[in-house]
Chains A and B, each alone.
Chain A
Amino acid sequence: MIHVLLITFIITLFYMSIANRLMTYIKVLALQGVILFFVVFLQLSEINTLNLVLILLETIVFKSLAVPIFLGYLLKRNNITREAEPFLPNFVSLVITTFIVVITILISNTIKDDHLDKIFFVVALSTLFFGLYLIATRRKIITHVMGYMVIENGVFVLSLAVGNEMPMLVNLGILLDIFASVLILGIFLNKIGDVFKDVDVDQLSNLKDY
């Protein structure tokens, strides 16, 4: 069951790579939060109940409700146009995403470790690289934020792989999630939207050496 969920998680990445509208990105992020909720529920069977409840709350309340609602609010408030505006055509995006997943599977095949369920490794690493790819190839600043959220989800999957032995690391992951998201989204909400009216990375090139 966990495997099915994790594979669904990978499929969301493919969907994201060809999605056109920012609202779709937000919905996919919410869906990823829900998937992670079930993965946590099935995977972390050995940790104490209170901690489990905390982690579950983080996935469902923070990842799949708070962040998407907040991102949607940002879209409206800053009047950001709905297109994602990628630098590359969708077909190329899809090919590159496939390439990323295949590469991570090949890497995972070279590793011999009985302690780790390799699918966690594959999902986490491909999500990480996909997030970096998303950041690199989209024009709007808010898609950078979404790319970062994708990376965080990937890291969260990886932390679940060791969650039973070291619950502290999952909690640290949550700390990172909340801290970084609040910091980044906070700056975005308060400032970027007001100052840079047309929220585009090309505007962030005034800091120069000469």
Chain B
Amino acid sequence: MIGIYLLGAFAIVIILFFSRNKMLVYSLAGLFLVLQWMITIYACLHYRNTELIYFTFDSLGVILLITLSIIAVPAFIHSYIYIENHHENQQTRAIYLTAMVLLIMAISAGYLSNHIAVTWIFTEITTLSASALIYHHRNKLALEGTWKYVFICAISITFIFIGILFLSLSLQNAGSDDLSFRNLLARRAELNPVWLRMAFLFIFTGFTAKLGLVPMFTAGIDAKDKAPAPAGALFATVLMNLGFVGIFRFYIVIANTPLLHWAQLVVGSAAFLSLFVSTVYMLKVKNIKRMFAYSGIEHMGIVMLGVAAGGIGYYAAILHIILHAFVKSSLFFQFNQLYTVFQNKSIYHIGNYFKYNPTGAMVLLLGFISATAMPPSGLFVSEFLIFKSIFDAGQILLLIVVLLLLTMIIWAFGKNMFKVLFVPAVGFDDSHVPKISPWESLSQFILLAAAVYLGLNPPAVFVKMLKESVALLPM
């Protein structure tokens, strides 16, 4: 089935790229969504099976695949609204949808792959398709964003490749040449620790470009800013999750070797630095879309702190990235309506949004409450568990500093958000504000509600899968 999925998606990509007919383009996008849901349901039914050697429907992959498929539906709906509102020409429309389909296909395959080199290949493909989406507007700023993204991602995938080479050196002592995660885990005792350290450093650094951690987070911010908001929603959520999968699967291997403590130190310090950097930028940032992007860096920092702390932190980390995906994507989906009203991204020129679009303003308000992890947001639960894991690990000083940083982030986020919602913008002429249908906000409400539901009252099967994803880690 995964073979059919990949071939089908490739066929759709090729036809989409050359088709100019409006009906055909949209029906192909719809067809891809059907295909996406078919593979998702198939993966649930054939749980733990391996197909085509390199793809396994394991718990982590399946949960994230379901998350992706759920977010993909509103992503296409909002893309449709976006394209029709901007009266895009036939060519840009076709390229946009092609890149979107290719991106979702590559992310899905990356989640499911059980071999580090295969994950790497699909990460490369996401770079290609993402760059086409970032360059959608064809102007100077978009070009700058695309160039930075492509260049940083090219370096980071090179880093991952170097890491894979070191990993193969580390495996040579074990007399094996199979780089699948399962084989690495089985031969963990025979891996050469020096090469393993180098491999982890390079692979971790490489995947931070996708995950959005220090040191490679910069490119992702520009990408989320310049790409159309529906594509930005995918970059800020499911693409970050791909980076997480790449790091996490390898982390499982290294956590079962004597290098666990060292790896915790590496991951923990990168995570803390990300949190610090995102705080600094959140206090300064005036572009609301970039503010959402920096909030993503903050959340990934929290997630990786949970991974580094261990214990309940592993479980909470995976819960957190899923809930974060729902919340952050709804904020990004909402952004286009905000932009339609004010025609500006700067905080200075946006204000009193409740007056112009009450439904959309409700989404922003609820999204703000969710993203800052205030109850009843589901993120509250996962963040609380992560703090508990840091506490259990005995890092009380770290916890205090983290909480202080988070307080500053909530202050900055809240200050900007309440300005957007309630304080009138100076000199804004509201005679030409278009009417926005409340139905366009429906998907955002559903996503936010899903985050609350999954956080506060997770279904038993969901908890079981989360627990299985972290079962291989030492508790």
Contact = CB atoms under 8 A, between A and B. Distances in A.
A173 B154 CA distance: 13
A187 B195 CA distance: 35
24 contacts: A152-B158, A155-B161, A155-B162, A155-B165, A162-B165, A169-B168, A172-B117, A172-B120, A175-B124, A176-B124, A176-B158, A179-B128, A180-B154, A183-B127, A183-B128, A191-B135, A191-B143, A192-B147, A196-B140, A196-B143, A207-B144, A207-B148, A209-B285, A210-B346
Interface in B102-152: 117, 120-121, 124, 127-128, 131, 135, 140-141, 143-148, 150-151
Nearest to A176: B161
Interface string B282-304: 00111100100000000000000
B164 A169 contact: yes
A209 B162 CA distance: 33
A195 B140 contact: yes
B169 interface: yes
Nearest to B284: A209
Interface string A177-200: 001100110010001100110000
B78 interface: no
Contact of A206 (B120, B121, B141, B177): B141
Given A113-B194, A148-B151, A168-B117, A183 B158 contact: no
Contact of B150 (A110, A183, A209): A183
Contact of B177 (A115, A144, A161, A165): A165
Given A155-B158, A159-B165, A209-B281, A115 B147 contact: no
A152 B155 CA distance: 9
A158 interface: yes
Interface in A138-170: 141, 144, 148, 151-152, 155, 158-159, 161-162, 165-166, 168-169
Interface string A95-119: 0000000000000001111011000
A108 B192 CA distance: 15
Given A195-B140, A207-B145, A180 B157 contact: yes
Q: Which of B135, B147, B285 has the most CB of A within 10 A?
A: B147
B225 interface: yes
A33 B172 CA distance: 28
Contacts of B162: 124, 128, 155, 158
Contacts of A192: 143, 147
A103 to B, nearest CB: 14
A207 B226 contact: yes
Given A165-B177, A176-B124, A209-B285, A116 B154 contact: no
Contact of A184 (B144, B154, B285, B346): B154
A161 B144 contact: no
Nearest to A113: B192
A50 interface: no
B131 A183 contact: yes
**Dominant secondary structure at the A interface:** helix
Contacts of A115: 169, 172-173
B383 interface: no
A204 interface: yes
A204 B148 contact: yes
B222 interface: yes
A158 B222 CA distance: 32
A18 B158 CA distance: 25
A143 to B, nearest CB: 12
A111 B195 CA distance: 9
Nearest to B120: A172
A182 to B, nearest CB: 10
Contact of B154 (A148, A165, A195): A148
Interface string B159-183: 0011011001100110001000000
A210 B168 contact: no
A115 B157 CA distance: 26
Q: Which are the 5 A-B pairs with shortest beta-carbon distances?
A: A210-B286, A209-B285, A180-B154, A115-B172, A166-B177
Interface in A7-61: none
Contacts of B150: 183-184, 187
